[in-house]
Amino acid sequence: MRKRGQGRRWSALVTVLALVLGVAGCDGGSEAIEASADPPQPAGAGPETAEPEAAEDEAAGFSEADFAAHVAKLGDRLPEGFTVVVEPPFVVIGDEAAGVVKRRAERTVRWTVRLLKKDYFEKDPDEILDIWLFRDKESYRKHTKELFGIEPHTPFGFCSRDNHALIMNVATGGGTLVHEIVHPFMRSNFPECPAWFNEGLASLYEQCRERDGHITGMTNWRLAGLQKAIRGKKTFSFERLTGLTDAEFYGRGSGLHYAQARYLCYYLQEEGLLRELYRRFRANCSEDPTGYEALRGVLKTDDMEAFRQQWEKLVLGLRFPEE
């Protein structure tokens, strides 16, 4: 016998699934993803001109039937009032208005996936992952506890590998979502990637937009702390930064580790070297597991202390918000 309300919930789920499989195209122009409670809006000075991008029909070998079966397995686990949107290679689930959830799936998730794959990643994640978008702090804390049995360790959002999910407080903005989307792609394309580059690249896109057809990081809230560390002579040599073990990177002083890795990636991006570093590092990681030699190679320098001084000067000249 079905529990009370089960039939109504299942009927709604099937209706939503029918609507969102093979969802229509989205805006394809410049997007600014940042700390904002609203879905990302165009950052350009003029109207959108790019043609909408259609959703991929299949991802990582998963068919529409695979996605339908995945959504069906949510069953009674799906709380009342949630909308499900299939946005390959993810399933997006949110408790805002249905139209808002759909726009977030199209304008943040699809936009991010399209540009990350264009510049870095050939393979989709090896499994269908859920993206849970909770509308505010209260919903985020309540449902994370009820659905996954865990207390959030950050007010923004996180990736739970045990639950095959990205779990977000979307009221804090789309930047954390873009950050977390990087990780499953990195895991399937460059599983040996150390924390400094994994988090540096992901953090770069916490505040981003599209520039000349590429995803582009902008300055963000991590800048002020890094500038203070530079003035206090507390930054690492880049040999030390890239040599940090994952445990060291995520341990004491992790805020500075994230910031220095992010703005190293920012510098490389602005010099047109970031994608080259990714390709060179991934190709040679067995001989260069930290990526330090790949970094020296793309910079074409043996004097990394001189580069550090140059990099610090550039960082001290940055501003957030950007003018």
Domain count, the chain: 2
The verdict on residue 306 lying in a domain is yes
SS3 293: helix
Q: Give the pairing of strands 165-169 and 157-160.
A: antiparallel
Nearest by Cα to 174 from 215, 224, 129: 215
Is 83 found in the same domain as 47? yes
Is 147 found in the same domain as 222? no
User: From the centroid of its chain, how far is CA 130?
Assistant: 14
The verdict on residue 204 lying in a domain is yes
The CA–CA distances, whole Å, from 9 to 12, 13, 16, 185 equal: 5, 6, 11, 32
User: Cα(first)–Cα(last) distance of the chain, in Å?
Assistant: 62
Is 120 found in the same domain as 58? yes
**Residue ranges making up the domain that contains 231:** 198-316
The dihedrals phi and psi of 172, each to the nearest 5 degrees, come to -85, -5
Is 245 found in the same domain as 174? no
Distance from C-alpha of 74 to C-alpha of 67, rounded to nearest angstrom: 11
Residue owning tokens 């610090």: 312
Residue owning tokens 């122009």: 29
Is 243 found in the same domain as 173? no
Is 174 found in the same domain as 77? yes
The CA–CA distances, whole Å, from 45 to 42, 78, 96, 167 equal: 8, 40, 29, 33
pLDDT at 298: 98
SS3 211: strand
pLDDT at 227: 98
SS3 168: strand
Nearest by Cα to 197 from 108, 282, 83: 282
Is 150 found in the same domain as 103? yes
Last residue of a domain, which of 189, 223, 252?
189
Last residue of a domain, which of 189, 224, 256?
189
The CA–CA distances, whole Å, from 218 to 210, 224, 267 equal: 10, 14, 11
The verdict on residue 1 lying in a domain is no
pLDDT at 75: 80
pLDDT at 184: 96
Q: Give the pairing of strands 83-87 and 32-33.
A: unpaired
321: cis peptide before it, omega within 30°?
Answer: yes
Last residue of a domain, which of 189, 215, 244?
189
SS3 9: helix
pLDDT at 220: 97
The tokens for 132 are: 């849970």
Contact between 181 and 174 under an 8 Å Cβ cutoff? The reply is no
DSSP structure string for 95-125: SS-HHHHHHHIIIIIIHHHHHHHHHT-SS--
Is 214 found in the same domain as 95? no
Is 46 found in the same domain as 185? yes
Is 141 found in the same domain as 212? no
pLDDT at 76: 73
40: cis peptide before it, omega within 30°?
Answer: no
Is 270 found in the same domain as 171? no
pLDDT means over runs of 10, the chain (323 residues): 38 38 29 38 27 50 92 87 96 97 96 98 96 97 95 92 94 93 97 98 97 98 98 97 98 97 98 98 98 98 97 98 83
Nearest by Cα to 196 from 252, 256, 155: 256
Cβ contacts of 169 within 8 Å, gap of 6 or more: 134, 136, 137, 139, 140, 152, 155, 156, 157, 176
| pTM for the model | 0.83
pLDDT at 12: 38
The verdict on residue 322 lying in a domain is no
